[in-house]
Structures are given as C-alpha cells and as structure tokens.
Structure 1
Amino acid sequence: MIIVTGAAGFIGSNLIRGIRTLKGFESHPPQIKKNIIAVDDLTEGTKFNNLSNYDIDDYWDKDLLLKNIEEDRINFKVDCVFHQGACTDTQERDEYYMIENNYRYSVTLFEWCQQKKIPFIYASSAAIYGSNTDLSEPKSVFNDKHNSYKPLNIYGHSKLLFDKYVSKKLSLSKKISQVVGLRYFNVYGPGESHKGNMASVIYHFNKQALKDGEIQLFKGSHGWEDGEHRRDFVYVEDVVSVNLWFLINKGVSGIYNVGTGNQWSFNEVADEIFKWHGIKPNKKYISFPEGLESTYQAYTQANIDKLKGMGYEQEFKNIEQGIKKYLDYINGPKKS
C-alpha cells in the first residue's frame, strides 16, 4: 500500500497517475505495490476532479490519517508515504496555520514512518531560498549545498523548518529509514486549475491569450527589466518521474532540488504561448499588486548536480516542449 497526502492536489494527483503506470520505469521491482490510499481535504469542491479517473483503494482526510497513526490502527504494510499535502499559498499570512499544517503535520508523519521503517518522500520548495538579487551569480543561491536560505514568506519558512528538521535527523544517524525531500521549483502542467491565483503563470497566460489575445506581465523590479523576471519552470510529469525514481531506489536519502537546471524569462514564456496560439505577441506590463513586490521571488534556477550525482538520468522538458504538451492538453491539439 502507498499513502499519498495531498492526493487530489496538483502534484499529488499526477503522482497517483504515475504510480499507476510507472511510466518510464518498466523494469521497476515487482514488489512495489500499486494500492493507494488518497489523503486530502475535498471540502473545496473542485479538486475531486483530479482523482475522478484514477482508482484508489481508500480515501482519508488528514484528521483520519493522524487519528489512525495516533491509535496505531494502520495494520497493513505501507510501502511508501508520499507527503505532498501542504498549504502552498505564498500569500497566506496565518503563521500558526502554516506551521501546524506544513511543519508539525510533516514531523508527525516523518516520525511515524521512521518508527515503522517506511520510506518517506516529501515535497519541499524552492521558496526556502527566497529571492536572489545578485545578478552576477544568480545560480549560487539555489544550490542545495549552499547555506543561503532566505525565505520571503511564511510558506517558505514552514518548508525550511521541516527541511532543517530532516537534515538534522540525517546527520545524527546512518540507520535512518529512507527520507527524501524534493525542493520543487516552478511546477506547471495538468491538474492545477483548482489552485486559482497560485496556479502557474503558464496556466494564467494561456487563459489571458484565449480571452483577449493579450498577456499581462509585471513591470521590472529587483534589477530586472519589464517581463524579464526568470524562473526554472519544470513540467509536472518530470517532477513525478523524480518521485518515482526515489520510490524505486529505496537506499537513497537526502534533500534535492527538482528543476530543469535552466531558467526562462516571463517574456519568453509569453512568446511561446503566443506562438502556440499562432497570434502576434501582445504584452502589457503592469505594476505589482500592493504588498507583493517585497515578497516576490524574481529569479529561480535549480542546481541539480546533487540529484544527478545520485544517479538520476532522465531529461527534463525545456519550456518549449513543456508548454506545447500542456497547451495541447488543456486547449486540445492544434489542427494542422
């Protein structure tokens, strides 16, 4: 049995699809079971669509999972816990809620997995790095060996707290059961529509292009020109592949950046979307909403040397490949 928290969310639902198919891992060990317990909060009323096409063996909410752990009611073999559940709203201001939901919940699951010797693979975030304004060497801040963590919001802080907790546990014992933290960079792809404002810019740019043929980008800031803020955009299918690699390679622990290792400007992203639609680029540069600029992550680029050094060899899609695949999915393939 595999437990997936955040199962109806963006990455969680794509992960369930990946577990069911293990695409790209046809030689996976046969002992890996594909029975899945989905853990999530469906009170929002729209996320259930992300699970409607996938078979799951049971559905629990967070409280039931924690109750079953506390009362030791989980009496079946658990092959792995994929912990994708979290509040990912970078503009959330309720610190108590974020710490309880993103940090303490994670600690409880981690300690239970260690007690039961269950592999634990969890979602961290590039938000722990904050924003880099040193344009002479931007990539250095996003090296997972670099001690330069400057989260700009409580979301990033909550993720950093748990990363530090895990790092300390890893440093204190060589007998620790598998624990893997994956610092996701700017993920995009199918299954994110329920995220609203927190959906990727690719999702929002596509909606704008469809509506009136215009895409709105932020004016320059943090040393960047209009629309030139840059991100390491990584396709969700590639993020799932990294998760599945660690599911199969159970002897590998640690915390790893998960991005392409490259970066693209928002102008470049907009141009790719205009190209897909076959329309002339029409960009409008707008000011930041009040309060956002000071907590805005203007640049991200993952250093993935550590991930590759552990033996991960699959290629990541570039922005042209990823946008084409995504827009073909949500808009329907273009007619030739």
Structure 2
Amino acid sequence: MIIVTGAAGFIGSNIVKELNRRGRTDILVVDDLGGDREPDAANVANYKNLRGLKFIDYQHKDDFLKTIADDDFDGADVDAIFHEGACSDTMEYDVNYMMRTNYEYSKALLHFCLQHRIPFFYASSASTYGSGKNGFTEGDKCEDALNPYAFSKLAFDRYVRQVMPEAHSQIVGLRYFNVFGPQEHHKGKMASIFYQLYNQINETGKAHLFKGEGGYGDGEQRRDFVYVKDVVNVNLWFFENGGPSGIYNCGTGVSHTYNEAATAVIKAMGKGEIAYRDFPTALIGKYQNYTQADRTHLEEAGYDLGFHNLDDAVKEYVDFLNAGGYFEYGK
C-alpha cells in the first residue's frame, strides 16, 4: 500500500492519478475535505479532486495522525508515504498554526517512517530561499524565510538534515518551485498565475500582472514555473529508482517572466491582452521577484527525465481546463 497525504490537494491528487496510471490503486488517501473554510467564490471544495482517482480508503488527516501516534497502523504493509499535505497559504501569519500543521505533523510522519523503514517523500518549498539574493542551491548559505509558511518548511528541512545521517530508510524532500497544472481550482488566491490568468481572460479579456517593483519592470518579475506532471515524475522517480536520500530542488532550472507566462496563456487560449496593476503594498519585502532552481544536486542523484517546455505545458493545461478541469475516473 502507498499513503498520500494532501491527496485531495493539487500535487497530491496528481501523484495519485499517476500512480493509478502505473497500475497502483492500493492507496490510502489522507486529507481534510473541509467544511470550515471562509466562504469564497474562488475556493472550490477539494473533494472534487478525488472523484477521478482510484484508492482503497480515505482517512481524515487528524484521524490518520492519531492512528500512527497510537501505533495502531501496521507499517509493514506500507511501500511509501508521499507527504503533500500542508497549509500552503503564504499570507497566513498564525505562526503557531503553521508550525503545528507543517512542522509537527511532518515530524510525526517522518518518525513513523523511520521506525518502520518506510520511504518518505515530502513537499518542501522554494520559499525556503527567501528573497533569493544568495541563490537557489540547497544548503544553509542560500536559505531564509520571508513568512511563516516558508519558516515552517525551512524548519522541517533542517530537522530532516539532523536525522538523515542515522536513517535506515529513504528520505527525500523536494523543494517545489512555482508549480502549475490540473486540479488546483480549490487553491483560490494561492492557485498558480496560469490558472488565475485563464480565469481573468475568460472574465475580462485581460491578463492582469503586477507593475514593476524592486528594480523589475512591469510584469518582468521572474519565476521558475514547473508543470505538475514534472513534479510527479520527480517524486515517482525517487520512489521507483531508490534515489539517494536528500533535499532537492524541484524546478526546471529556467526562469520566465510573468509577461512570458501571460503571453503563453494568451497564445494557448487564442485571446486576451496584458494589463498591469499596482504592486500590493502588503507584499513589498515579502515577495520573491526571482526564482530559478539549481538542478545540479537533482541531476547528480541521477534524475534525467527532463522537464516540459513552458509553452507546451501551458497549452496542455489550457486544453485541460477547457475540457472541464478535473480528472475523469478510469481515464
């Protein structure tokens, strides 16, 4: 059996779908399907992400944590845990909540895996590089945190580094850069720029980007945009090939401007134009104007499957959204 936390979320549901495609349906999906979120027209219930997936059971994240804490779970039957569950809201400033959700929960799963020698694959984040002024290479010299979300992820990475030398099972943390693709409807304001631009163009005919700030021109902030299918491929490559334990960047190694991102969406949709809006005051000093993964460590581990071209990935994603935007069961 394989366990995927955050399985009703963006990356988690894509991992389950690809496991299904590769013949695995013996999957326990773990998540919180909600009911207590703020009313927001942009937020869509994440249970919808599970409708197109095959799995043997569902468990609420708190019930699952209690099960392993009470040692009521037979770890001998688990082939791997993909820990994708987290609070990913970079505008959440309740630090205690972030640490309980993203740090303490992850520690509990890590020690369960270490006890039962289960391969553990978890979601880290490129936000652990702060402003990026020191680069994007895994290691202390480049790391920083501009908000509680980033701090919770960085704190867990540093904890993993302490226990990894004594581990007798695989531990892989993947620092996701700017991921986009199917099944991100429920993320609302945290959804990728591509999903937001797709909706903006359909609603207004315009792709709205931030004006320049911090030495960057209008729409010229740069990000390493990575297609979710590539993120899944990296996860499953480590699982299937027994890649070496470590914390790795999961990005293309190429940065694109937001202007280039908007142009790709406009091209794929066959309509729309770019418009600029004021840079939010609340984000000044807390915003990554530039990210670009250093892929050296990942490639040294043996990963050689490459990454999608941005235009091709955006076209595929737009076609998917046009077709309804959710996975279909059995397809």
For normalisation by structure 2, the TM-score amounts to 0.91
SS of the counterpart of 1:182? strand
Q: Post-superposition, which runs of at least 4 consecutive aligned residues in structure 1 deviate over 6 A?
A: none
2:77 maps to what in 1? 77
Is 1:42 equivalent to 2:59 in the alignment? no
- Mapped to 2, the partners of 1:72 and 1:274 lie a distance apart of 52
- Mapped to 2, the partners of 1:223 and 1:56 lie a distance apart of 48
**Structure 2 letter corresponding to 1:100:** R
How is 1:187-266 mapped onto 2 (pairs within 5 angstroms)? 187-250=179-242, 252-266=244-258
2:128 maps to what in 1? 128
* Contact kept? 2:172, 2:245, Cα under 8 Å: yes
Q: Deviation at 1:42?
A: 0.5
2:328 maps to what in 1? none
SS of the counterpart of 2:187? helix
SS of the counterpart of 1:273? helix
Is 1:112 equivalent to 2:112 in the alignment? yes
Q: Deviation at 1:299?
A: 0.7
**Structure 2 letter corresponding to 1:57:** I
* Overall identity of the aligned pairs, in %: 48
2:41 maps to what in 1? none
Deviates most, 248-257 or 238-247: 248-257
* Contact kept? 2:132, 2:142, Cα under 8 Å: no
- Mapped to 2, the partners of 1:161 and 1:176 lie a distance apart of 22
Deviates most, 215-224 or 225-234: 215-224
**In structure 1, which of residues 116, 128, 142 is the aligned counterpart of residue 136 of structure 2?**
142
User: Over residues 94-130 of structure 1, what are the superposed CA-to-partner deviations in whole Å (9 max), with x where a residue is unaligned?
Assistant: 0000000000100011011101111100000000001
**In structure 2, which of residues 275, 278, 299 is the aligned counterpart of residue 308 of structure 1?**
299
* Contact kept? 1:260, 1:318, Cα under 8 Å: no
* Contact kept? 1:83, 1:121, Cα under 8 Å: yes
- Mapped to 1, the partners of 2:266 and 2:62 lie a distance apart of 44
In structure 2, the gaps of 5 or more residues are 36-43, 325-331
2:158 maps to what in 1? 164
**Structure 1 letter corresponding to 2:138:** D
SS of the counterpart of 2:216? coil
- Mapped to 2, the partners of 1:223 and 1:46 lie a distance apart of 39
SS of the counterpart of 2:142? coil
* Contact kept? 1:126, 1:184, Cα under 8 Å: yes
**In structure 1, which of residues 248, 270, 274 is the aligned counterpart of residue 266 of structure 2?**
274
* Contact kept? 1:22, 1:244, Cα under 8 Å: no
1:10 maps to what in 2? 10
2:21 maps to what in 1? 21
* Contact kept? 1:187, 1:233, Cα under 8 Å: yes
* Contact kept? 2:174, 2:248, Cα under 8 Å: yes
How is 1:24-103 mapped onto 2 (pairs within 5 angstroms)? 34-44=25-35, 46-75=45-74, 77-103=77-103
SS of the counterpart of 1:269? helix
* Contact kept? 1:90, 1:156, Cα under 8 Å: yes
SS of the counterpart of 1:329? helix
User: Over residues 280-303 of structure 1, what are the superposed CA-to-partner deviations in whole Å (9 max), with x where a residue is unaligned?
Assistant: x62221112231122111111001
1:26 maps to what in 2? none
* Contact kept? 1:122, 1:182, Cα under 8 Å: yes
In structure 1, the gaps of 5 or more residues are 24-32, 134-139
- Mapped to 2, the partners of 1:181 and 1:251 lie a distance apart of 12
User: Over residues 308-330 of structure 1, what are the superposed CA-to-partner deviations in whole Å (9 max), with x where a residue is unaligned?
Assistant: 11111111012111101100110
SS of the counterpart of 2:285? helix
For normalisation by structure 1, the TM-score amounts to 0.90
**Structure 1 letter corresponding to 2:249:** N
- Mapped to 2, the partners of 1:111 and 1:146 lie a distance apart of 23
- Mapped to 2, the partners of 1:13 and 1:277 lie a distance apart of 25
- Mapped to 1, the partners of 2:126 and 2:92 lie a distance apart of 17
Evaluate the alpha carbon distance shift between residue 218 and residue 251 of structure 1 in structure 2; reply closer, same or farther with a 3 A threshold.
closer
Deviates most, 104-113 or 145-154: 145-154
Count of residues in Structure 1 that have an aligned counterpart in Structure 2? 315
User: Over residues 178-216 of structure 1, what are the superposed CA-to-partner deviations in whole Å (9 max), with x where a residue is unaligned?
Assistant: 100000000000000100000000000111111121111
**Structure 2 letter corresponding to 1:10:** F
User: Over residues 26-85 of structure 1, what are the superposed CA-to-partner deviations in whole Å (9 max), with x where a residue is unaligned?
Assistant: xxxxxxx64100000002471111110112111111111111112211125111010000
SS of the counterpart of 2:244? coil
1:30 maps to what in 2? none
SS of the counterpart of 2:8? coil
- Mapped to 1, the partners of 2:237 and 2:266 lie a distance apart of 34
- Mapped to 2, the partners of 1:290 and 1:13 lie a distance apart of 34
